[in-house]
C-alpha cells in the first residue's frame, strides 16, 4: 500500500513538472540578414532621348493640273528628270489663246480711243457749262459718256490682262525644284482646267519625317524645360532606316493634342542630297539633345509601384527602407529620378521576394 502511494506521488510530480515546462514560451528563431546587391545613388546631368515610329514625307509633292483647257501640243521632259522651278513641262495649244490676246488688245485700243474722245467732249462741255452756254441736261449727258467710256476702258484692260494670263498658263511649269514622275497624259490629249492630272512633281531634298509623340512626353517636355530641370543642348533627330542612321533636326512640334489618339504631331527634317530617302518609307526617329540636370539614373528593376506610390527600396543602418520617388524620364532599361533620392543612398537591386520594409539585410555587392 505504501509502495502504491509513493508511485502515485512520483507520477503526479512528473505531470506537474511537464505542465510547468509547457507554459514556458518557445524561443524565437532569429532569421539571418538577407543578402542584397545595391548601387550607390549619384546625381549627374544625364542625356535623354525619345524614340518614335515615323513616316517619310515630302512637303513639296504635287500632282500638277492645268489652269486652262486645251490640247497638249508638246511634252518637254522624261520621267525621272530633275527639274528647276519655272521649267516648262507641257505646252497646251497656244494659237487660240494668242488670238484671244490679240482680240482683247484690239478691244482695249478701241476702248482707249472712245475714252479719249469722251474725255475731250466732257472737258469742252464743262467749259461751256461754266459759261451757261449749254444746258444741265447736255452737261450731264457728256459726263455720263465720259464715265461710261472710262469704265469700258478699265474692263477692256482687265480682259486683256486675263487673256495674257491664260496664254501664260498654256505653258505648264514646275512649281519648285524637284523630280518629275511619269506623264499622266500624252501629246494630243485634251485636258480640262483644274481637272486633268498631268504629272507628279516631288522635291526629295530636304525630306521630312512625320511622327507622333505621346501627350505625356509633350507635357513633360514643356514642364521640365520651363522649370529648368531639362536643358536643351543642340537638339537633333536621328532617322533609323534599314540599319542606317541619318542625322537631322527637330523641325516642328504641334501645340495641340489630338483628342482621338492622345498624341501630338511632330516633324523632323533631313538632308537627302543623294535621294536615297523616299516618301512613304517607314522608319524610327530618335530625338536627342535634352539634358536632365541633377538626375539619378536607376535600373527599372529597382523601381517599384503600387496603386498609390512609385518608390525604391534603400539600405539604411542594415535595414530596408522605402523612399517615394518622382520619375522625370524612363525607357525600358532605366528611369531617371529627380525627387526622392540623395547622393550616396544605397538602392536595392535584387532579392525583393525575400525582403520587406524593416527587414535586416546584408550588402553582398555594390554597383
Same-domain status, 76 and 116 = no
The C-alpha torsion from 221 through 226 and 230 to 233, rounded to 10°, is: 90
In a domain, 304, yes or no: yes
Same-domain status, 177 and 269 = no
3-class DSSP state for residue 16?
helix
State residue 3's pLDDT score.
43
Rounded to whole angstroms, how far apart are CA atoms 170 and 96?
10
Q: In which region does residue 211 sit, left (phi positive, over 0), alpha (psi from -120 to 50) or beta (all else)?
A: beta
Helix (H) or strand (E) holding 105: helix 95-130
Same-domain status, 84 and 49 = no
Helix (H) or strand (E) holding 181: none
Residues 204, 206, 208: CA angle, nearest 5 degrees: 90
Q: How many domains does the chain have?
A: 3
Structural domain harbouring 144: 95-169
Q: Which three cell numbers stand for residue 61?
A: 509633292
CATH number at residue 106: 1.10.287.470
- Please list the pLDDT of the chain residue by residue as tens digits (367 residues): 444 454 444 444 544 444 554 555 555 566 788 899 999 999 998 888 888 999 999 989 999 999 999 999 999 999 999 999 999 999 999 999 999 999 999 999 999 999 999 889 889 888 887 888 888 898 888 889 889 999 999 999 999 999 999 999 999 999 999 999 999 999 999 999 999 999 999 998 889 999 998 877 787 777 777 777 776 666 788 999 888 889 898 888 888 888 788 888 889 999 988 888 889 999 999 988 888 888 999 999 999 998 889 999 999 999 999 999 999 888 889 999 989 999 999 999 998 999 899 999 898 876 6
In a domain, 268, yes or no: yes
State residue 209's pLDDT score.
93
Same-domain status, 76 and 197 = yes
In a domain, 34, yes or no: no
70 closest CA partner among 201, 195, 200, 176:
195
Same-domain status, 83 and 123 = no
Rounded to whole angstroms, how far apart are CA atoms 293 and 297?
11
Same-domain status, 334 and 295 = yes
**Nearby residues of 130 by Cβ (< 8 Å), 6 or more positions away:** none
Same-domain status, 146 and 226 = no
Same-domain status, 286 and 165 = no
State residue 17's pLDDT score.
47
Chain position carrying cell 469722251: 118
DSSP state of 188: T
CATH number at residue 192: 2.40.50.100
In a domain, 302, yes or no: yes
Same-domain status, 310 and 162 = no
State residue 233's pLDDT score.
62
In a domain, 296, yes or no: yes
Same-domain status, 295 and 163 = no
Q: Which three cell numbers stand for residue 327?
A: 520619375
**Beta strands at 61-64 and 34-40: parallel, antiparallel or unpaired:** unpaired
Q: Which three cell numbers stand for residue 270?
A: 533631313
State residue 2's pLDDT score.
47
Same-domain status, 210 and 352 = yes
In a domain, 124, yes or no: yes
Buried b (16+ CB within 10 A) or exposed e, 150-186: bebbeebbebbeebbebbebbbbbbeebbbbeebebe
In a domain, 19, yes or no: no
33, 361 contact by CB (below 8 A): yes
In a domain, 12, yes or no: no
- pTM reported for the whole predicted model: 0.65
State residue 25's pLDDT score.
53
75, 180 contact by CB (below 8 A): no
Same-domain status, 277 and 210 = yes
Chain-centroid distance of CA 358 in Å reads 48
Other C-beta atoms within 10 Å of 327: how many?
17
Amino acid at each position: 500500500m505504501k509502495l502504491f502511494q509513493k508511485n502515485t506521488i512520483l507520477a503526479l510530480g512528473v505531470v506537474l513538472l511537464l505542465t510547468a515546462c509547457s507554459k514556458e514560451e518557445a524561443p524565437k528563431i532569429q532569421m539571418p540578414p538577407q543578402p542584397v546587391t545595391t548601387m550607390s545613388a549619384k546625381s549627374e546631368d544625364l542625356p535623354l532621348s525619345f524614340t518614335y515610329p515615323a513616316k517619310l514625307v515630302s512637303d513639296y509633292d504635287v500632282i500638277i493640273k492645268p489652269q486652262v483647257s486645251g490640247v497638249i501640243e508638246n511634252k518637254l521632259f522624261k520621267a525621272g528628270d530633275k527639274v528647276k522651278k519655272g521649267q516648262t513641262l507641257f505646252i497646251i495649244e497656244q494659237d487660240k489663246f494668242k488670238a484671244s490676246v490679240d482680240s482683247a488688245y484690239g478691244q482695249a485700243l478701241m476702248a482707249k480711243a472712245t475714252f479719249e474722245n469722251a474725255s475731250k467732249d466732257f472737258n469742252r462741255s464743262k467749259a461751256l457749262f461754266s459759261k451757261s452756254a449749254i444746258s444741265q441736261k447736255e452737261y450731264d449727258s457728256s459726263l455720263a459718256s465720259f464715265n461710261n467710256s472710262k469704265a469700258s476702258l478699265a474692263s477692256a484692260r482687265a480682259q486683256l490682262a486675263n487673256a495674257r494670263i491664260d496664254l501664260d498658263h498654256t505653258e505648264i511649269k514646275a512649281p519648285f525644284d524637284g523630280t518629275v514622275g511619269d506623264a499622266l497624259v500624252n501629246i494630243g490629249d485634251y485636258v480640262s482646267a483644274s481637272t486633268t492630272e498631268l504629272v507628279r512633281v516631288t522635291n526629295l531634298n530636304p525630306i521630312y519625317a512625320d511622327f507622333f509623340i505621346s501627350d505625356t512626353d509633350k507635357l513633360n517636355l514643356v514642364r521640365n524645360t520651363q522649370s529648368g530641370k531639362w536643358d536643351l543642348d543642340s537638339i537633333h533627330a536621328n532617322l533609323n532606316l534599314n540599319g542606317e542612321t541619318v542625322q537631322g533636326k527637330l523641325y516642328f512640334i504641334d501645340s495641340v493634342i489630338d483628342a482621338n489618339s492622345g498624341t501630338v504631331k511632330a516633324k523632323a527634317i533631313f538632308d537627302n542630297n543623294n535621294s536615297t530617302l523616299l516618301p512613304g518609307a517607314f522608319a524610327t526617329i530618335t530625338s536627342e539633345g535634352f539634358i536632365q540636370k541633377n538626375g539619378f539614373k536607376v535600373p527599372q528593376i529597382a523601381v517599384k509601384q503600387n496603386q498609390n506610390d512609385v518608390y525604391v527600396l534603400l539600405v539604411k543602418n542594415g535595414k530596408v527602407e522605402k523612399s517615394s520617388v518622382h520619375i522625370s524620364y524612363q525607357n525600358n532599361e532605366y528611369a531617371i529620378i529627380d525627387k526622392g533620392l540623395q547622393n550616396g543612398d544605397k538602392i536595392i537591386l535584387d532579392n525583393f521576394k525575400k525582403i520587406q520594409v524593416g527587414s535586416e539585410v546584408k550588402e553582398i555587392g555594390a554597383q
